[in-house]
Amino acid sequence: MLNAEQIAQFHQDGYVVVPDFKSAAEIAALRERAGAIVDAFDPSESVSIFTTKEQERKIDHYFLNSANNISCFFEEEAFDSDGQLRQAKALSINKIGHAMHDLDPVFSAFSRGQALATVAQQLGLQQPQIWQSMYIFKQPGIGGEVRWHQDATYFDTDPVSVTTFWFALEDATLENGCLWAEPGGHRSPMRERFVREGDQVRVEKLSDLPWPDDSTAVPLEVKAGSLVCFHGLLPHYSAPNRSPVSRHAYTLHVTDGKTQYSAGNWIQRGPDFPVRGFV
């Protein structure tokens, strides 16, 4: 699926964009299913808000339990000062996570197949294992910022192997909060490690290296249907979405089963719910 130039770009820049990887029909099916999940979600079950800021204070049981189920999370700006939704529920959800790829047949079909298995092999994953799936809405007007981070922070393996498969379900632009990344930044050290011990989490600081800024980062504007693959150490972020249009995306975090998966990672699987790959 990848040509030699694309493979070389992944190793050089830490990411590669593959246009037209998913069809309009595949995208429509996933979006319809995501909409149905949100429609069925009862906000009284939880008012959990997704944020990448002050994570040690704001992680709750609802989030931790979402590791191996299907959960909805609100945008930070979804509620007014009285705790009421500012707009319709469907326009207030930040994301759905984190095991749709194993628990929902529509998401499983989108997340698997020989094409993805081939890409994974070309990127060096000998035994791909899909740990996490997220459907990200990036809602119009209130789509939250995702601060600079490296995905290896959350999926620590020895050696580092986590690779992100990010699918654009709508055009991602500067206006609606596209990804930004630092080309070559995957050669920098891991700056933080997110560690879970029972129901407690902490963020360990590993490096004082500063995060990139606009002088070195580049925007990844891509069309719907594109697949963006990036290395687990690649620094990346997305700005808030203040535009009138959403920026739906779907992402998978995949490690290599040939590496040692840390017992401190926040998502763990047992024999009753084994981690699986692309085929």
- C-alpha distance from residue 278 to each of 36, 62, 114, 120, 244 (Å): 24, 27, 7, 9, 35
CA 218 to chain centre: 19
Q: Which two tokens stand for residue 198?
A: 């029972």
Query: Given this model, what pLDDT does residue 57 score?
Result: 46
Domain segments of the chain as ranges: 4-261
pLDDT of residue 80: 86
pLDDT digits (tens, 9 = 90+) for 132-153: 999 999 999 999 999 999 999 9
Q: Is 18 a residue whose pLDDT tops 50?
A: yes
- Mean pLDDT, to the nearest integer, of 34-59? 71
Kind of pairing between the strands at 179-181 and 236-238 = antiparallel
Res. 52: pLDDT tops 60: no
Architecture of domain 4-261: Sandwich (2.60)
pLDDT greater than 70 at residue 49: no
Query: Are the C-beta atoms of 237 and 185 separated by less than 8 Å?
Result: no
pTM above 0.85, yes or no: yes
Q: Which of 210, 255, 251 is nearest to 232 (CA)?
A: 255
Per cent of the chain over pLDDT 70 is 95
Q: What is the pLDDT of residues 81-134, one digit of tens each?
A: 888 888 899 999 999 999 999 999 999 999 999 999 999 999 999 999 999 999
Higher-confidence residue of 33 and 84: namely 33
Residue 52: closest CA among 260, 240, 198: 240
Q: Tell me, what DSSP letter sits at residue 205? A: E
Residue 83 confidence (pLDDT): 83
